[in-house]
Amino acid sequence: MEEKFLADSMLGRLAKWLRVLGYDTVYLRAHGSGSIEDIIREGRFFLSREKKLEYVYNNTIIIDADCVGDQLTELKEKMSLLPDRSHWFTMCLICNTFLKNADPDEARNNVPEYVFYSNLSEIRFCPSCIRYYWQGSHRKRMARQIEEWGFV
Ligand SMILES: [Zn+2]
């Protein structure tokens, strides 16, 4: 997706769900002064719950909602985001790296057998932290959740 984000330490769940939706999102665990500006300069929107930061940093979006579903809706409205289902589940949820299609021989050794044989073309992996991802009940639950939030 075109938009990239930097989420502050109070928006960890939002950061995770933005990755699920295919948005490149850096999560800031602790504020180190200066680093926020550097990361925004990479072309990211800064998502924060601290109203006072709105005028401190460029491209800052203040998130008022408390629940992650409402936060997504708020962000979608404030930025006129155009969600695209084809981008869902394309990023590593742990380290924010774009996933690649797994080589079948590699995948065979790294996922449970039943997954390998039922998801042959759907197995992806993170080239950075070497985690494997596939279509399963967990992903279906997340997709349903996104639909319930109306982020489609
Ligand atoms: Zn990763």
- Residue in the block written with tokens 């490149």: 24
* 40: Cβ contacts below 8 Å, ≥ 6 apart: 6, 46, 57, 58, 59, 60
Query: Ligand 1 centroid vs 55 CA: distance in angstroms?
Result: 33
15: Cβ–Cβ under 8 A, 6 or more apart, which residues?
Answer: 5, 7, 25, 26, 27, 47
Instruction: Give the environment of ion ligand 1: residues with CB less than 5 A.
Output: 92, 94-95, 97, 126, 128-129
CA of 101 to the centre of ligand 1 (A): 13
Amino acid identity, position 113: E
Measured from the Cβ of residue 27, the count of other Cβ atoms closer than 10 Å reads: 19
Q: Give the distance (Å) from ligand 1 centre to CA of residue 96.
A: 6
Q: What is the mean pLDDT of each run of 10 residues along the chain (152 residues)?
A: 92 96 90 79 94 92 96 95 92 95 89 84 91 89 93 82
